[in-house]
Structure 1
Amino acid sequence: MDDRVAGALSLPDDWPAHPDLSLALNRMGCFDWDLGTGLMHMDQPALDVFDLTAAEYDDRPGTLARRVPRDEAARLDGLVSQALKSGRTAYGAYFRVQRRDGSLRWTHTQGFVRRDASGRPRRIIGIVRDATQELADSAARQEIDEERRRRTSLVEGTAVSLAQARTVRDVIAVLKDSQGLALLGATSLVMGLLESGRIHLVADGPEAAHVPGTRYTRVDEPYPMSEVVRTLTPRFIESAEDFADSYPVLWPDIRHLGITSAAYMPLIAQARPIGALGLLYRDKDGFTPDERNLLMALGTSIAQSLQRAMLYEQEHDLAEGLQQAMLPRRIPAVAGAQVAVRYRSARIGRDIGGDWYDLIHLPGGRVGAVIGDVQGHDTHAAAVMGQLRIVLRAYAAEGHSPATVMARASVFLHELDTDRFATCTYAEIDLSTGVVQMVRAGHIDPLVRDVNGDCRRLTAEGGLPLGLSAEFGRLEYPVTTAELDPGQALVLFTDGLVELPGADLDEGMQLLTSLVTNGPHDLQKLADDLCAAVDVRGGQDDVALLLFRRRAAQAPQAGGRLQQHVAQNDPEALSSSRHMIRAAVRAWGAKERADEIELAADELITNALIHTDGGAIVTIRVMAGPERRLRVDVEDRSSALPRRRDAGEAGVSGRGLMLVDRLADVWGVESRGGGKCVWCEFLMPESRRRPWTSDAEAPLGSST
């Protein structure tokens, strides 16, 4: 047993190895530099590092200079001098040595400074060694670390970009970005989404890469996307041969693309597949473990972004469908007018709000134009908008005056018991006269574009927003009367068209005025341009737009009428009614009798306001028949009939009806339920009718 132990512990004769052997095997050599004499002894391994023979070296450091590039020698000398002067005991440096064949290789030296008792340096003893492999390994490690950092940065950067993607198209755009593909080393990508057991190809790789019949494929078909969706496992195709062998149905159609490898990953969200992603490579063979891990991590991030995008699109489609259902399905054609409407959803949030437009045919050839905005950007705002639009349309169609329509709509919104209010502008337009009666409930003033393109703001006195006016008991809505000449256009819009990030409303109005002034004459093109301007600046609010241009004047129709309520103690309302009558008389061809008609109507209105306890309703219309007549009706709530009496020489009252009797061709009084109507008519001979020939009779403006 002792013999066996002794045999097991037997050692080679040259054990332990001499230090010279260890140094030589590790391509290290020694030197001893005597600073007093300047001689430097170098052993043979050290000379081998410098590619010198013993016969070529004379123990002088200067002899080594021919092997060291000048800049390297200067740097090394400076390092040694600094070590000697600073009192350090050691130094080390990497430098390059030029071999006999002219090639350079990295070398490392390390020296120990020996000093005397006074601290003066006497000798430097050290080593030199070939550091080529060491630095190559270090550079390789740095490249690996850099590659890992690059891949990590790629995943992080892609994740950030994907976080901002709202739709599937946005996700595909991020992935197909040329920089992202270059960082991945991929030539192109393909992507499919799982829909009802089939894979829908939504990104089909490089140009001319589409394979007929693969837009929709079943999960059980022999395609790589189908395989990864079935197995929920990535598939890395290492070579063209691997591709051809594994997928013989697909390979013949893509062989011309020069694909040498591919990576297909299932896109999994909440433990279920939603699709697959394929990255196609040229001039690449195989995938390292790090590359596989990177691609799988990227696939997870993409799947989460796709799921968010798909949910967003589903919600957006639902919201957009609700919004479209609430808006009018079509705008009716209006004889004698050109109309353009647009709705643009916001670019943030759910892309739905309470903005709306509407155009309503009214009795007597009149048209009601509505623009409004319910507070909020959600489905509730859209639902409230739909109800409010229908109610406002119903009130207008019943023949109520604009102020009454707005007041009743406000009461309705308040009684809905919702926390939303709405702004709105309602304009009632008579196409035969061009008279516009407008009511504004907290909304932005509209614009008017003239025939020559000039655009200006139409200032209209307004009331509180709908809902709020009913809540605070302030249902009075003043009516602004204006005139719209042939060729002029009324521009109604919501605040999303003029709101600018970081700017006030006046700046937005100035910009809109400029866009309308310089825009095309055609309203459809102008509407497109205005919406495009909103898209460019990325508006954060919905936009509803209604453009209305009056064309050539229409002949007055039997039964057509203009009507306005005149409240007591409201001089503005009285002035507005005079404006309406004057415009109608001129438009309907009775200009020669305009002063008579206006004076008679003014007397009837004033009489109703003075002698009754309420306001008056003024109606003016053209009566068709053998003799065309213009009729003015003034209704009030008093049942007491007016009496014609002699005012006497000093009397200041009683002259009204006498004046009406002298001016009008015929007049009378009719009982109307709880009130009465005093009327007068004026003959309009055909010879006195004036056809409308001017495209710009008078500017559109407020009666105030």
Structure 2
Amino acid sequence: MADRGASALSVPDDWPAHPDPFLALNRMGTFDWDLGTGLYHMDAQAYEVFDLLPEEFDGRLESLGLRIPQTEASRIDAVISRAIKDGSENYGAYFRIRRRDGSYRWTHTQGYIRRDDTGRPVHVIGIVRDATQELEDSEGRRLRAAQEAAFRRQSNVVQVITAALSHAHSVQDVIDALKDSDGVRHLGAASLVMGLVEAGRIRLVAEGPEGSLVPGTLLTGIDEQYPMSEAVRMLSPRFIESPEDFAARYPILWPHITGLAVTSAAYLPLIAQGRPIGAMGLLYSDRRGFSTEERAVLIALGSSIAQSLQRAMLYEQERDLAQGLQQAMLPRTIPSVRGADIAVRYRAGSAAGSLGRDIGGDWYDLIPLPGGRVGAVIGDVQGHDTHAAAVMGQLRIVLRAYAAEGHTPAAVTARASVFLHELNTDRFATCLYAEADLATGVVQVVRAGHIDPLIRHTDGSCRRVAVDGGLPLGLSAEFGQLAYPVTTLELDPGQTLLLCTDGLVEQPGTDLDDGVRALTGLIATGPQDVRELADRLIDVAEERGGDDDVALLLLRRRNLDAARSGVRIQRHVAPGDPEALVTARRTIRAAVRAWGARERTDEIELVADELITNALMHTEGSATVTVRVLLGRERRLRVEVEDSSSALPRRREAGESEVSGRGLLLVDRLADVWGVEARGGGKCVWCEFSVGRRG
């Protein structure tokens, strides 16, 4: 308890002091405490007051702990220490004792401090008496009211902290909530430590104040002699009542925290669903011991923090899973496309208090297509969960497959709708598919319940493009309305096509048209570079927040130095119609000469004739021949022959007397480059000829 002097003094001859019989008659016990030896003598009446038998007490103050709770002992010790240090001769205090039957009663003590000639305290003699009846009156009510008020304050602190923790979505949020809510300060703690259980060890995740980290405690074993480890191992709180208690129980840790002036500490296991997930320590510098009520409050606080931590850890796991799944479903890379600058962005939405809401069905895709064309897709599957993400991943793959097969934009969209309907899911999806010919700037757009695209002009102005649309994917197949209209746009060099999901446009409490107007204004004032513009738009969406995802795709057609298409001709040749074949040959020859490629007219006509003939001979349908000029740094002429057969042409070695078998050999020798592309259920055989530099 109090300071007992620097050295042990011999027990004086008159020790212990003899009690006054008058005191015993008034049911007052006496004591004589030798501060040098620490011996504490009580008379028979004092034993009755403390409800002790003489054989249960060995003369040491520590043995009174059987009757005096630690919190009460700490309070009395503070009163006596203050009287000794300030030179007082007397002190008095009320305190509670725990009786043999477990009940509590109030006791009062008064003491007189004897000092030697140097002023050093030598003895404390005094009385103890039962004060239960006395405190049943005004003082008792006052003390009980004070205790109840203190308990209510602590309970209110727990409620405040619990309310703050309800908004925590991560472990760091939990730590910040404990600090920001001032809960630790209101509980009287000087500092806080927190650790999480990981693979049989405890990893420290918070310590305060800053810079108070104890060396070697960042990662400790559960079986090591640390209070946090012991709390986790025993699944029960560790209350440390005094510095001496701390030093005796945890000799490894104590030398490192003496600078924090710790007088007591409470280490609470954080238990969720019957298993420990961590531990928290509250260190105090102005108190000793914990009352029963204080312990109950701290245990309740630990339970609340444990539940919040578990919720935060689950949320982080769900978020990591969602982000990983989302990234797996979206394209890993976006291919570079000749003639265009591309930028794509994605932002996951979040809903406060909802696990797994960081994943949705928004997606984008860019599909390189033959002939300098590219397909751009933006879409949004209904829902915000892993099922929506799974459906999105399947839709993205089938859309890419249908586009690569050469189907028209309307057919790609209709087939995707049928596919989604046949998945037998309750989800539908909005989608916008745009197929751009970067050589000509012609863009064919099909809209399935999605928001319209936007075009940014070279002067920076931006406008919404009204596109005829059909029902969302899945619904159009269910209601038999698969005929999607196609809208044709022209994208000039330097113009940018912007496709996005509604998360970039819609804002709570505002009209969709207002959101589109705000977006067009933002684009008009944004950077010219598509990547910088995409970053700017996503930053704005991030600042605004919201529950919905945002997917964004920007396609900017490059300037006139990029390859572009000039004029073209197209003819259909039906089988069994020799006149149509002759007309096609004449048209091709005339067009090639008119386009300034007279020196290669014979080669081009011969190759075109060979490709048309092969298509008519080896398929059952008609053939479509297209000849166009590609204008870039080098002028090229491209011949395409399309038919309805998916069978690929193959080169054969013709014998000396055989007529057939030389067609592809001629194509290979005369054309600069040639190839085959899938087109829907058929194919397209194409070849290109260099016809001189531009101009």
TM-score band, normalised by shorter chain: 0.5 to 0.7
Aligned to 2:519: 512
Aligned to 2:416: 409
Q: Which amino acid aligns with 2:364?
A: Y
> TM-score, structure 1 length as denominator?
0.61
The answer as to whether partners of 1:499 and 1:508 remain within 8 angstroms in 2 is yes
The answer as to whether partners of 2:242 and 2:289 remain within 8 angstroms in 1 is yes
Percent identity reads 65
Task: Decide whether aligned partners of structure 1 residues 559 and 420 sit closer, same or farther in structure 2, where only a CA change above 3 A counts.
Answer: farther
Task: Decide whether aligned partners of structure 1 residues 197 and 419 sit closer, same or farther in structure 2, where only a CA change above 3 A counts.
Answer: same
- Within 2, Cα distance between the matches of 1:381 and 1:169? 29
The structural deviation recorded for 1:138 is: 5.3
Aligned to 2:404: 397
Task: Decide whether aligned partners of structure 1 residues 446 and 212 sit closer, same or farther in structure 2, where only a CA change above 3 A counts.
Answer: farther
The structural deviation recorded for 1:454 is: 2.2
The structural deviation recorded for 1:634 is: 10
Q: CA RMSD in A?
A: 4.0
Q: Which amino acid aligns with 1:436?
A: V
Q: Specify the SS of the correspondent of 1:372.
A: strand
Task: Decide whether aligned partners of structure 1 residues 489 and 245 sit closer, same or farther in structure 2, where only a CA change above 3 A counts.
Answer: farther
Q: Specify the SS of the correspondent of 1:438.
A: strand
**Which stretch shifts more, 477-486 or 135-144?**
135-144
Task: Decide whether aligned partners of structure 1 residues 289 and 561 sit closer, same or farther in structure 2, where only a CA change above 3 A counts.
Answer: farther
**Residues 32-60 of structure 1: per-residue CA shift (max 9 Å, x gap):** xxxxxxxxxxxxxxxxxxxxxxxxxxxxx
* Alignment pair present for 1:240 and 2:240: no
Task: Decide whether aligned partners of structure 1 residues 138 and 213 sit closer, same or farther in structure 2, where only a CA change above 3 A counts.
Answer: same
**Residues 456-512 of structure 1: per-residue CA shift (max 9 Å, x gap):** 212211121111122222222222222223332222111111221122211222222
- Selected match of 1:173 from 165, 171, 176: 176
* Alignment pair present for 1:267 and 2:270: yes
Rg: which structure is higher? 1
Task: Decide whether aligned partners of structure 1 residues 466 and 539 sit closer, same or farther in structure 2, where only a CA change above 3 A counts.
Answer: same
- Within 2, Cα distance between the matches of 1:203 and 1:255? 19
The answer as to whether partners of 2:440 and 2:566 remain within 8 angstroms in 1 is no
Aligned to 2:538: 531
* Alignment pair present for 1:444 and 2:447: no
- Within 2, Cα distance between the matches of 1:332 and 1:338? 10
Task: Decide whether aligned partners of structure 1 residues 455 and 555 sit closer, same or farther in structure 2, where only a CA change above 3 A counts.
Answer: closer
Q: Specify the SS of the correspondent of 2:377.
A: strand
- Within 2, Cα distance between the matches of 1:174 and 1:150? 19
- Selected match of 1:286 from 289, 299, 302: 289
The structural deviation recorded for 1:317 is: 2.5
**Residues 254-298 of structure 1: per-residue CA shift (max 9 Å, x gap):** 333343332110011222211101122333333222221111011
Aligned to 1:342: 345
- Within 1, Cα distance between the matches of 2:520 and 2:394? 32
Superposed counterparts of 1:20-419, under 5 Å: 140-348=143-351, 349=354, 350=356, 351-419=358-426
The answer as to whether partners of 2:379 and 2:501 remain within 8 angstroms in 1 is yes
The answer as to whether partners of 2:452 and 2:464 remain within 8 angstroms in 1 is yes
The structural deviation recorded for 1:622 is: 2.9
- Within 2, Cα distance between the matches of 1:193 and 1:180? 20
Q: Which amino acid aligns with 1:280?
A: L
The answer as to whether partners of 1:401 and 1:564 remain within 8 angstroms in 2 is no
- Within 2, Cα distance between the matches of 1:676 and 1:169? 58
The answer as to whether partners of 2:410 and 2:486 remain within 8 angstroms in 1 is yes
Q: Specify the SS of the correspondent of 1:456.
A: strand
Aligned to 1:467: 474
The answer as to whether partners of 1:563 and 1:620 remain within 8 angstroms in 2 is yes
Gaps of 5+ in 2: 1-133, 573-590, 597-620, 645-678
Task: Decide whether aligned partners of structure 1 residues 135 and 335 sit closer, same or farther in structure 2, where only a CA change above 3 A counts.
Answer: farther
**Which stretch shifts more, 157-166 or 294-303?**
157-166
The answer as to whether partners of 2:503 and 2:549 remain within 8 angstroms in 1 is yes
The answer as to whether partners of 1:448 and 1:491 remain within 8 angstroms in 2 is yes
Q: Specify the SS of the correspondent of 1:176.
A: helix
- Within 2, Cα distance between the matches of 1:535 and 1:317? 19
- Within 1, Cα distance between the matches of 2:557 and 2:531? 14
The structural deviation recorded for 1:327 is: 1.0
- Within 2, Cα distance between the matches of 1:463 and 1:224? 67
The structural deviation recorded for 1:136 is: 6.4
Aligned to 1:69: none
Superposed counterparts of 1:526-605, under 5 Å: 526-553=533-560, 555-556=562-563
Gaps of 5+ in 1: 1-130, 566-584, 591-613, 638-672, 691-704
- Within 1, Cα distance between the matches of 2:513 and 2:327? 30
> TM-score, structure 2 length as denominator?
0.61
The answer as to whether partners of 2:444 and 2:488 remain within 8 angstroms in 1 is yes
